[in-house]
Structure 1
Amino acid sequence: MMQLTNKIAYTTCLLAIFAGGCSTKTTENSGHSATSPATATKVTVQVAKEMAYIPVLNFTGTAEANREAALGASIPGRVEKIHFSKGSYVPEGAVIAEMSDEMLIQAQIELETIRKDFERISRLKEKESVSVMDYDHMKAKFDASQTKVNMLKKNTSITAPFGGVLTDITVQEGENYTFVPSVSSDLKMQSGILTIRQLNPLKITVEVNEKEINSISRGQHADVVFDAYPDEPVSGKVSYISPVLSSVTRTATVEVTIPNREMKLKPGMFGRVSISMPQTTGVFVPVNALYRQQGTGEDYLFMVVDQNRVTRRKVTRGESKGNLVRIPEIRADEYVVVDGKNKLDDGSLIEMVNK
């Protein structure tokens, strides 16, 4: 009898527990939960606008002399005199260096002797006292001697083919010049006695890929900023476009010519080149509407998809125009969140306080 009583009591307790559980579920499903609805985040929004802008292609390159020449003689010899010091400006046509003239003097003496023989045989030819063959032989000998003297004259002095700065002297006064190559100041192999460079204007060379080369033409405006003068952009123009592309890099060499009147810019300086394209239109938003995810380089915008909800969209930055930035992935008249975006997630509820 005692065991039956215990079983009844145990069963009664279980029923009470189950009854309590059912009662709890009924309460939860009845819609009387104490949980409050999601709170909307207050934000300011702005509409994306279509605006005119000038697209810009950006490149990097190195400044070079507009013209450069390693000058020497076509025959070995001794350097007798250099009339300009390294770093000085040399006008076009000026004699920069003089070479030894022993061979020239010898050739001139030989020419004078041959000239007399030629004049004598010319008089005999007029009297028909000498054969045509002998005359032709002497004339050829005279012409060859004259050519030799002219060649040696050109090699006893070195003149500037254009106005420029004397940047390298590889053979000093009193030294013998040979054809052995040397290394220039910019670590290039060269042969010669000296190097002259035209430094005004300068040119900066960039490599343009095959997708963009058709957008560039000669005479196109370009801005160049050098790391040495970051706050002093220089205006230039596209002066040369290679007619062929590299089969390895699929790029074409493009040269931009820039003025250098004050000679502040030096060959070898690193520069950033911006080439302007024809004006077009694009969709712009405030730059502070962009949201960058921490730990990544990805940019996002929170787009308003209805009156009270946003979606997060991955975007890329385009050209800047004041405090606006072009976004190619969005349309004009779409609304973007500007302030309050740091509190949002994809699908968050919002309350637009400035619409």
Structure 2
Amino acid sequence: MNRRLTSSSLFKSCIAVSMLMVFLPGCNRKKDVESDVNYEKIVLPVKAAVSVRGEISQTLNFSGNIDAVKRASIAPLAPGRIKQIFVKEGDYVKEGQLLAKMDDYGLQQALANLNQVQEDYQRIKTLYERGSATAQQFGQIKAAYEASKAGYENLKNSVELRAPYAGTIIGRHFNEGEIYNGAPGVDGVAAVVGLAQLGVMKIEVMAPEQEFVLLRTGLSVEIRTDALPDTVFEGKITTVNPALNRMSRSARVTIEIRNPGNRLKPGMFARVKIATSSKKDVVVVPASAVVNRDGEQIVFTVENKAAPFQTKPQIVKVQTGIVNDESAEIISGLQEGAVVLTDNNISLLEKTDIEVTSIENSGKE
């Protein structure tokens, strides 16, 4: 009995030792695999700029359509057939130049009527001077003559359409032979031709009441267009409507722009920037450097040395003054010459590993 138990115990012990010998090398291999894993350190690339002393402006941005300050729609006073048009779009015309001529059938009738009334007027006038006609008769014929003469002159001006001032033809809205009756033509304009002076242009924008109070005549304006993206045009506010629209709570503001070379055209879309106030000799950083976090304004600073280099940023609380689309004035918390991060900084932490790829000067308006 004891011999059987001893043999059985010895057999079980051998099996246990064998299993342990199989298991232990596996554990050692797992530890070896885990020790071979290398985790790569993540470094966030960022750009930076140096805070500088400079000038900054508070700006308001609007958009609108460009038009000529002086523009006219040339049309006859009375309906009629268009007999001939002497100009084409793009032509430069002088003051008084004949632009178009209407059918003169009505004018000929008016002339015949004027000649008849004039003869009657001369005859009654002679009789009146001799005492053979009453003052009432003379007054009546005189009034009829003057009315016929005025009617003829009006029709004459209606037949011959002339330029009221020198300028450029910007539209030819009807064709020869068509009837002009005061209704818009094919392009929606109720005129035979359009005339404009392109040397001075304007933009009318609608300013909401909270911005309207900051605007005044004489303020300088920067104008940019999609058609000429590399050119900045300069203008000035010439009028600010003193009354706001009751529905939109906004007021019309007119900006005039000198247009050398006539590069700006009526109908172009433009974006305008109006500087309402400015400060000089203040600490300025790019607007993207300032981050609003937990109700506070902060910037991330790094040491000032040659880029690229790796480091960890530091959080600095700041107070800003004027802030526009490009720059921000720093009132307190940062000195001139500090290097601040300008991108990838919204969710940044002080313990984040970063690589500063470039450092630029700031302070551009």
Normalised by the size of structure 2, how large is the TM-score? 0.67
State the identity %.
Answer: 29
Tell me the residue number matched to 1:205. Answer: 204
2:264 partner SS: coil
1:176 and 1:339 mapped to 2: Cα distance?
68
Q: Is the alpha carbon distance of 1:151 and 1:302 closer, same or farther for their aligned partners in structure 2, counting shifts above 3 Å?
A: same
Q: Structure 1's 190 and 282: CA in aligned 2 closer, same or farther, altered over 3 A?
A: same
Which residue of structure 2 aligns with residue 267 of structure 1?
266
The DSSP-based 3-state class of the residue aligned with 2:88 is coil
Q: Does 1:110 align with 2:113?
A: yes
- Judged with a 3 Å threshold, the aligned counterparts in structure 2 of structure 1 residues 345 and 63 are, in CA distance, closer, same or farther, namely same
Matches within 5 A, 1:15-30: none
Bigger drift between 120-129 and 175-184 goes to 175-184
Separation in 2 of the partners of 1:334 and 1:147? 78
Change (3 A) 1:128 1:248: same
Q: TM-score, normalised by structure 1?
A: 0.69
Match of 1:147 in 2: 150
In structure 2, the partner of 1:129 is 132
Gaps of 5+ in 2: 1-47, 303-312, 353-365
Aligned equivalents of 1:191 and 1:180: distance in 2?
5
Shift of 1:169: 1.7
Q: Name the counterpart of 2:361.
A: none
Determine the C-alpha separation between the residues in 1 that align with 2:279 and 2:227. Answer: 33
**1:288/1:214 Cα in 2 relative to 1: closer, same or farther (>3 Å)?**
closer
1:1-355 matches, cutoff 5 A: 52-182=55-185, 184=187, 189-280=188-279, 284-287=283-286, 290=289, 300-302=298-300, 310=315, 318-319=323-324, 325-327=327-329, 331=332, 338=340, 345=349
Q: How many residues align?
A: 289
> Using the alignment, how far apart are the partners of 1:67 and 1:339 within structure 2?
50
Contact (CA 8 Å) 2:77, 2:155: kept in 1 or not? Answer: no
In the aligned structure 1, how far is the partner of 2:137 from the partner of 2:241?
A: 56
Matches of 1:101 and 1:339, distance apart in 2: 76
**Residue 145 of structure 1 aligns to a residue in which SS?**
helix
Q: Once the 2 structures are TM-superposed, how far is the Cα of residue 84 of structure 1 from its aligned partner? A: 0.9
| Distance in 2 of aligned mates of 1:209 and 1:282 | 31
Q: Residues 203-222 of structure 1, C-alpha deviation per residue, up to 9 Å, x if partnerless?
A: 12222222222332222211
- Superposed CA deviations along residues 214-249 of structure 1, whole A, max 9, x for unmatched, are 332222211111122222111111122222222233
> What is the Cα deviation at residue 332 of structure 1?
5.3
Distance in 1 separating the partners of 2:350 and 2:189? 63
Question: How far apart are the structure 1 equivalents of 2:51 and 2:168?
Answer: 54
SS of equivalent residue, structure 1 residue 198: strand
Q: Distance in 1 between matches of 2:200 and 2:265?
A: 11
Tell me how far apart the structure 2 counterparts of residues 95 and 277 of structure 1 sit (CA, whole Å): 46
CA distance in 2, matches of 1:47, 1:69: 53
The one-letter code of the counterpart of 2:204 is T
> Equivalent residue of 1:114, what SS?
helix
CA distance in 2, matches of 1:320, 1:127: 87
Cα RMSD (Å):
3.7
C-alpha separation between the residues in 2 aligned to 1:121 and 1:129?
A: 9
User: Mind listing any 5+ residue stretches in structure 1 that lack a counterpart?
Assistant: 1-44, 349-355
How far residue 158 of structure 1 moved from its aligned partner, in angstroms, is: 0.8
User: Structure 1 residues 202, 339: closer, same or farther in 2, change over 3 A?
Assistant: closer
- Deviation track 1:77-107 (CA, whole Å, cap 9, x = no partner) reads 1212211112212222222111121221222
Q: Per-residue deviation at 1:257?
A: 1.3
Which residue does 2:20 correspond to in 1? Answer: none
Distance 1:235 1:275 in 2: 10
The CA distance in 2 between the partners of 1:302 and 1:248, in whole Å, is 45
